[in-house]
Amino acid sequence: MLIIKNGRVVDPQSQFDQVADVLVENGKILKIGQDLDAADAQVIDATGLVVAPGLVDVHVHFREPGQTHKEDIHTGSLAAAAGGVTSVVMMANTSPTISTVETLKEVLDSAAKEDIRVHTVATITKEFDGENITDFEALLANGAVAFSDDGIPLTNAGVLRKAMKLAKKHDVLLSLHEEDPDLNGVLGLNEQVAEKHFHICGATGVAEYSMVARDVMIAYETGAKVHIQHLSKAESVKVVEFAQSLGAKVTAEAAPQHFSRTEDLLLTKGANAKMNPPLRLESDRLAVIEGLKSGVISVIATDHAPHHADEKNVADVTQAPSGMTGLETSLSLGLTYLVEPGHLSLAQLLEKMTINPAKLYGLDAGYLVENGPADLVIFDPKADREVSANFASKASNSPFIGDQLKGQVKYTICQGKLVYQAD
């Protein structure tokens, strides 16, 4: 038995926001109220701290199987817990990809050993071939929560339309990475900084928003539930808003990096600031924030993409892989760049990091209620922290190392168990 005393309990779903105690037993929240007591219970004094639902991150890469020198399900889960995240959805760009029931079962067997809740998507097409659609029915029956060829955009509109019709039939979500390779140069570097400082053709804005436009209109026509990953361009936000106004079942996410910093970060942080889609212009950053404020973008997800230091530390930044670790900085970036400047309230930030992503993927998570799951994060929203390179993740490819940010996770509880405690 565990009792959390005197914390500011914030539940975005019910809009409960007051100082209260939370009593936890057998993996469930037994009671939320004033002056609770229980004999022999472990006590956490949360005075001055926020008690919220455990964060739900629906876009992570845990690299297992096949790329475990970068990350594995265990170290990824430790990173999640350190960041206050109690539920994750893994992407399927493993080796082999999660395209078969056999690989799916292997991954979920490994995931079941962890202290946090680890879910996974399966691929839309077999081994990301872009042509042959996987067995949706079998993969869903064996535990896949959605489908995505994340990282490999589906260039064939006919194949995508067929997949959307299948997704509609099974009432399941398709999650899409939108960057048309035929309109892009070197990935990971925004077109302006690429041309000015590296004298190459980089990742263009039109590659993103033109593909978003195509796919949201196919979603509109088919009636499929389609989720657009990590919007980074102002035009993309407008396109999604338009599709939503038509009644398309389209949702979108933003990654913390895209509402926090711009392409200039490449000049100081090098390959650690290289990611797909790339950091963009200040006008794009502000547009993403406006999308979060308006609700066009309803989810914040990290795209946690760990890489080995040797892969990132190459002489030519254009040859480094794209991606950054994100699980251990996401809450702080949200507090620093969204809450502190007054763009979102704390409850609004938490909504986009808990209940919204949970509902989107059909997860029983992201809320606080009596008899509900005891998945919680306890954090100090005002604490100043310097991001160190000492991550729980195997990787430290973060462009935010050395930055001063707001917010510090103190405790993470999942299924009633204390899975992380700050030093």
**Which residue, 335, 360, 385, sits at the end of a domain?**
360
Encode burial over 383-394: b for 16+ CB neighbours within 10 A, e otherwise.
bebebeeebbbb
Do 236 and 297 fall within a single domain? yes
Do 286 and 320 fall within a single domain? yes
Model confidence at 27, in pLDDT bands (50, 70, 90)?
very high
What's 9's domain CATH number?
2.30.40.10
Percent of the chain topping pLDDT 90: 99
In a domain, 263, yes or no: yes
DSSP calls for 261-329: --TTHHHHHGGGG--SSPP--HHHHHHHHHHHHHTSS-EE---B----HHHH--SSGGGSPP-B--TTT
Q: Is 40 exposed, middle or buried (0-12, 13-18, 19+ CB in 10 A)?
A: exposed
Residues 6+ apart with CB under 8 A from 39: none
Range of the domain at 379: 2-50+373-421
Mean pLDDT of the region 2-13? 98
Mean pLDDT of the region 282-286? 98
Do 44 and 60 fall within a single domain? no
In a domain, 399, yes or no: yes
In a domain, 273, yes or no: yes
Do 400 and 315 fall within a single domain? no
Model confidence at 38, in pLDDT bands (50, 70, 90)?
confident
The number of domains in the chain is 2
- pLDDT at position 342 is 98
What's 133's domain CATH number?
3.20.20.140
Do 215 and 93 fall within a single domain? yes
Mean pLDDT of the region 235-245? 98
What are the pLDDT digits (tens) for 141-184?
999 999 999 999 999 999 999 999 999 999 999 999 999 999 99
In a domain, 17, yes or no: yes
User: Average per-residue pLDDT in the chain?
Assistant: 97
Do 134 and 203 fall within a single domain? yes
Do 257 and 394 fall within a single domain? no
Global model pTM greater than 0.95: yes
What are the pLDDT digits (tens) for 365-387?
999 999 999 999 999 999 999 99
Do 91 and 181 fall within a single domain? yes
In a domain, 402, yes or no: yes
| Residues composing the chain | 423
Is the pLDDT score of 423 beyond 90? no
What are the pLDDT digits (tens) for 48-104?
999 999 999 999 999 999 999 999 999 999 999 999 999 999 999 999 999 999 999
**Which residue, 360, 385, 404, sits at the end of a domain?**
360
Do 28 and 76 fall within a single domain? no
Place of tokens 């991954």: 107
In a domain, 162, yes or no: yes
Do 17 and 123 fall within a single domain? no
Do 271 and 417 fall within a single domain? no
φ, ψ of residue 290 in degrees (nearest 5): -65, -35
Residue 148: closest CA among 216, 228, 85 = 228
Is the pLDDT score of 244 beyond 90? yes
Q: What CA–CA distance (Å, rounded) separates 72 from 99?
A: 18
Q: Is 190 exposed, middle or buried (0-12, 13-18, 19+ CB in 10 A)?
A: buried
Do 100 and 44 fall within a single domain? no
What are the pLDDT digits (tens) for 108-122?
999 999 999 999 999
In a domain, 365, yes or no: no
- pLDDT at position 150 is 93
In a domain, 367, yes or no: no
- pLDDT at position 208 is 98
Place of tokens 């067929």: 162
Model confidence at 251, in pLDDT bands (50, 70, 90)?
very high
Is the pLDDT score of 325 beyond 90? yes
**Which residue, 317, 339, 360, sits at the end of a domain?**
360
Q: Which residues are catalytic?
A: 303
Place of tokens 């030093």: 423
